[in-house]
Chains A and B, each alone.
Chain A
Amino acid sequence: MSIYMITQNVADCIGCRACEVHCKEKNNPGPGAFYCRMIEVTSAKTSPPRIDFVYLSCFHCEKPWCVDACPTGAMRRREQDGIVFVEESACVGCKACITACPWTVPQWNPETGKVGKCDLCKDRIDEGLEPACVTKCTTGCLTFTTPLAASQAARQTFAEQLLRNRR
């Protein structure tokens, strides 16, 4: 896990796909490729129905399968913050990382014949900004945070809910 993470408040997500588009516009992953995706999960068994969207990107693992599998050293983990990224000039398009990743996260760019993936917009992070998907999320349902801060925020929300229900 990189020191960062992106959390999603599913209740506030409307599946508008802005995160996917903002990512594509900034990172140009190639046609058909998405570094982040909103996955729709629907059930008509209840009323109102459940129509939810789950944000899935890269987990930036502490011990990334993709980095271990890469034969050329193109797939790397940034020392200072653990961001897993592709050094494009070293990628030979062997797809070993795609195979190795338990969630098949690395994306194939049909135009370049190389792999690309979410790097949390590390150029923006280095400028003190947040990833494109989070910055421009239509409803603000995505948060760029750290695991500990995310836990604290979740506990806070739960505590408020607890007391509201008690009243």
Chain B
Amino acid sequence: MKETKYSICGMCAVRCPVAVQVEDGEPVWIEGNSHDGGMGKSLCAKGGAAFAQRRDRQRPTAPLLRRGERGAGEWREVSWDEAFDYITSRLNAIVAEHGSRSIMLSDRGGPFADLRKAFLKALGSPNYINHDCTCGRNVNHSSKSVYGLGRTDLAYDYENTRHIVLFGRNITESLKVKEVKGFLKGIKKGARVTYIDPRASVTAGKASRYWQVKPGTDYALLLGIAHCVVHNGYYDHEFVDRYVNGLAEFKNFLVPYTPEWAAGETGIAAAEIEAFCRELNEDRPKVIIHPGWMLARYRDSFHASRIIHILNALMGSIEQPGGLFYPKGPKDAGKSGLKSLADLVPAVGGERADGCGTRYPQWDKGAGMLQTAFEAIDSGEPYPVKAYFVHRHNPFIALPDTRAQQRIFDKLDLIVAVDVNFSETAWYADVILPESTFLERDSILRTEKGLKPGFGRRQQCVKPLHNTKAGWEIYLELAKRLGKGEYFPFNTIEDIWQYQLQNTGLTVADFDAKGFVKLSDKAIWHDRDKLKFATESGKIELVNPKWETMGVPSLPPYVAPDGPPAGSFRLLFGRTGYQAHGQHQNNPILNDLLDTNRLWINTAAAGRLGIKDGDMVRVANGDIQGRIAAYVTDLIHPEAVFMLHGFGTDVPAKKRSFGKGLADQVFMQGKLKEWDKAGGGLNLAESFVTVTRA
């Protein structure tokens, strides 16, 4: 029998809607869920490699208990019972000695995190943390300081815009299928694209203007742009008068930051900056200046992003077709939302180990901050943290300086990794609980915000091939064994779904036809005359007094970045559209596309070092070094070198990718302790390496 099941892809964190055809219990075809018009049948390469992931045996296929030293790769395959018993007894001992707050959990956030938050809360710990210190924390916090809104509280109408401005936002390779389709439609309808990046990614090839900016100077370029826009009056006066506070102070602050000054800092000519600003003035309000997705890059990324948020307001592009819009939720459609699992559990008070809301009052407590939690593990302050659940998250390669992390992890009494893959972090754990691939697992329902809000469902399409479980099964069982079962009165995923849907008037069967349910037939736009912002003044705050009292100046003067020492280059990293986050390099099909990385180096810089295209070179920072082939090109700035992230794995179980290419993060020595002080994002683009002929 052949049937189509609608679900949600899990190959990367974008989580696109998919349709899976199943014949006699076997998956035979996967494509985009075309009930979603923005998606169609399109599916990226990672989604296309989903069946290959399921068939692959170079992943954990049964619970594993560590036998040898941490990281030695000596495992004993055990039953789920034994794995759960082991974790339960270790956790009980840790809690008895250090209290329940000594447990922490990190994951990659997203729409299914409610379950994990509920689990950790039930255990009595406030220390849930997502991955965002290596992703969008700077963007999120800067958005809060300008609009009072988080970064996902504004979305982008690419299809109807006139100008898309991207500061390193690599839309075509850091790929979201629906977003890139809208982006290309916008271009087809005549939108201009300005792309700014020290390295020309594929997105540069789609742009009408490309600026190879000096790395680390985005804030300077943005100040020059803001100067030109404000001092020439290239902004939406009506919108600004109505909704923006602090323009006079902003204008005064910008006085020294002329386009000529910015040209000196960034290498982008003043005339080009001025021409660009004139275009913005022609194109507004249908302008999108993307504030960044992954923006854990420089020490001033928070402030660079903050200027972008401000510029969008000056363009008057908020809640505007062809500009930015509020993604609407169930409430905007006059409906009730999903019930939260975390609401079943009493609140956990007390200080967070990572200091969000206390030592770092400006940082969001909901998402936490991993590097300061690591400091707590290391120092035992403000209290000991001894047990760490790592849920499909891979700090060892996501955060800098793997070696420094290992030293900190050695202070933990228990590390439990829940993962589909042998991540580098899982390999260092005490227990690996193998999660089923997304094709084989159900997840809790998710809310899908947008112009037409709704809910979506990931469902099990086929049975697990191996002895693996879904996350919900793992956490519910652990909660029960730890005496917290009362908070989770569920036996099946349908029980959970019914609970979530309780107030919505919907049933689980409503998801069968399309995989999602829409709560509105037509696009919902707010009345543009009655916009509200969640700042204290209710307005867009160019100067935010609340953040200033928390120690974050709204408009700090520009400080130029350190240049690379002689013979050194700033190390940049990125990804392709077919491999992300080190999760796909060992996939049997995706590995066939690319099994190693190269070092991009500027033609002139390479010439000075006697390096020719294809030569093997030695990359080094302190005592860390490695060999890699050079890609000599003018597509990268002379001060920088670049490599794709996710290569050079040290996990021998990943036989296809083991030891191939270099891992960028190991060269970021000392950078676990350096982050943007305002926004919290780690400084992942602030390391220098030497390059010599090997």
Contact = CB atoms under 8 A, between A and B. Distances in A.
Interface in A111-167: 135-140
B635 A140 contact: no
A61 interface: no
B200 A17 contact: no
B590 interface: yes
Interface stretch (A20-28, A67-75, A79-87, A89-97): A20-28
A1 interface: no
B43 A22 contact: yes
B17 to A, nearest CB: 13
B519 to A, nearest CB: 28
A25 B588 CA distance: 10
B42 A137 contact: yes
Interface in B348-370: none
Q: State which size class the interface on A falls in.
A: 20 to 34
Contact of A18 (B44, B588, B592): B44
B210 interface: yes
A11 B45 CA distance: 19
A49 B43 contact: no
Interface string B31-51: 110000000111111011101
B41 A16 contact: no
Contacts of B200: 44, 48-49, 51
Contacts of A16: 44-45, 172-173, 175, 576-578
Interface of A: 11-12, 14-18, 20-22, 24-26, 31-32, 42, 44, 47-52, 135-140
Contact of B592 (A31, A42, A50): A31
A86 B177 CA distance: 34
Interface string B560-584: 0000000000000000111000000
B577 A21 contact: no
Given A31-B592, A48-B195, A136 B43 contact: yes
Complex A-B, nearest 4 residue pairs according to Cβ-Cβ distance, in ascending order: A51-B205, A16-B577, A44-B634, A48-B210
A136 B210 CA distance: 30
B12 interface: no
Contact of B205 (A18, A31, A52, A140): A52
Contact of A21 (B40, B205, B578): B578
A48 B205 contact: yes
28 contacts: A11-B184, A12-B188, A14-B180, A15-B172, A15-B577, A16-B175, A16-B577, A16-B578, A17-B593, A21-B593, A22-B43, A24-B592, A25-B51, A32-B592, A44-B200, A47-B210, A48-B205, A49-B635, A51-B200, A51-B202, A51-B205, A135-B31, A135-B41, A136-B32, A136-B41, A136-B43, A138-B43, A140-B42
Nearest to B195: A48
Contact of B577 (A14, A47, A51): A14
Contacts of B44: 16, 18, 138
B95 interface: no
Given A14-B577, A16-B577, A48-B208, A21 B181 contact: no
A134 to B, nearest CB: 10
B243 to A, nearest CB: 34
Given A48-B204, A139-B180, A25 B49 contact: yes
A12, A17, A25, A26 — most chain B CB neighbours (10 Å): A17
Interface of B: 29, 31-32, 40-45, 47-49, 51-52, 172-173, 175, 177, 180-181, 184, 187-188, 195, 200, 202, 204-210, 212, 576-578, 588-590, 592-593, 633-635
Given A14-B172, A51-B200, A135-B41, A44 B209 contact: no
B205 A138 contact: no
A42 B199 CA distance: 14
Most buried by B among A14, A20, A50, A135: A14
Contacts of A138: 42-45, 175, 177, 180-181, 577
A21 B42 contact: no
Contacts of A22: 43, 48
A123 to B, nearest CB: 12
A74 B353 CA distance: 68
A136 B31 contact: yes
A22 B29 CA distance: 10
Contacts of A52: 205
Nearest to A18: B45
A19 to B, nearest CB: 8
Contacts of B588: 31
A65 to B, nearest CB: 27
A12 B52 CA distance: 27
A143 to B, nearest CB: 13
Contacts of B589: 21, 24-25
Nearest to A40: B202
Given A44-B633, A138-B175, 11 more contacts: A15-B577, A18-B42, A21-B578, A24-B589, A25-B51, A42-B635, A44-B635, A47-B210, A138-B42, A140-B40, A140-B42
B269 to A, nearest CB: 12
A24 to B, nearest CB: 5
Contacts of A137: 42
A136 to B, nearest CB: 5
A48 B184 contact: no
B590 A21 contact: yes
A18 B48 contact: yes
Given A14-B202, A42-B635, A49-B635, A140 B48 contact: no
Contacts of A11: 184, 187-188, 206
A20 B589 CA distance: 9
A137 to B, nearest CB: 6
Nearest to A136: B43
Most buried by A among B41, B48, B634: B48
Contacts of B210: 47-49
B88 to A, nearest CB: 40
Contacts of A47: 210, 212
Contacts of A21: 45, 48-49, 578, 589-590, 593
A49 B173 CA distance: 16
A121 B393 CA distance: 38
A15 B579 CA distance: 12
A52 B206 CA distance: 9
Nearest to A23: B48
A52 B634 CA distance: 16
B627 to A, nearest CB: 23
Contacts of B45: 16-18, 20-21, 138
Contact of A48 (B29, B181, B209, B590): B209
Nearest to B207: A48
Contacts of B593: 17, 20-21
Given A51-B200, A137-B42, A25 B48 contact: yes
A15 B209 contact: no
A32 B593 CA distance: 8
Nearest to A29: B592
A57 B44 CA distance: 19
A125 to B, nearest CB: 15
Contacts of B175: 14, 16, 138
Contacts of A25: 48-49, 51-52, 589
A139 B175 CA distance: 11
Contacts of B181: 138-140
